[in-house]
Structure 1
């Protein structure tokens, strides 16, 4: 199926998925335009074949974004810069304390789990 046929026959969501996949493929994988468009179309067609007819909900990824932000705050934390980090990330100083404590606890749990793995 050509790109032109896909866009004219495919639902808007699938056409948008194909376009975004192509753009990311060019940006991150350095694919040429034709290969990127082919990859985008193939991915959209496969998703339609696998999940077609189902109602899907795509979360906004807020928890993933918060996790990234929290890890950045923890990485930049030096023990004395609570206020600076709070301003930089638009959170309260108390929230910085909670983030540092939570990430530290998660890191310790992960390390302990690694100790007992074979």
Structure 2
């Protein structure tokens, strides 16, 4: 348990940094202001969930980041290597992303074959 507590400040610092970067990238917030907002969000999350073990699920739809969507949208069936170089990831990672996004696309379009059936 003491090891978990010693990691807590590191977790909060990391969370603050990620929030600040996201604010700068996503809404073009000025770095100083983004840092202030990020600290405030982190403090509120710590006050609300402090002392609890929090699990962040990694569901299929959550894993599909904007970058993954861009990679998939740029995929033409033969440009795996080009995309790997462009995005700085391995060739295997490109295959994995294309497969995951394709699977998500198919699931979204098809729906559940074994879901509830309306009986008349």
TM-score by length of 2: 0.50
Q: Give 1:100 shift.
A: 5.9
Alignment of 1:36 with 2:38, yes or no, is no
Name the Cα RMSD after superposition. 4.1
Q: If the length of structure 1 is used for normalisation, what is the TM-score?
A: 0.51
Deviations 1:70-91 (A, max 9, x none): 9x769968xxx6xx48997436
Looking at secondary structure, tell me which structure has more helix per residue. Answer: 1
Q: CA deviation at 1:104?
A: 3.7
Number of aligned residue pairs: give it.
Answer: 91
Structure 1: 5+ residue stretches without partners? 1-9, 111-118
Moved over 3 A (4+): 66-70, 72-77, 84-89, 99-106
Structure 2's unaligned 5+ residue stretches are 1-7, 82-90, 113-120
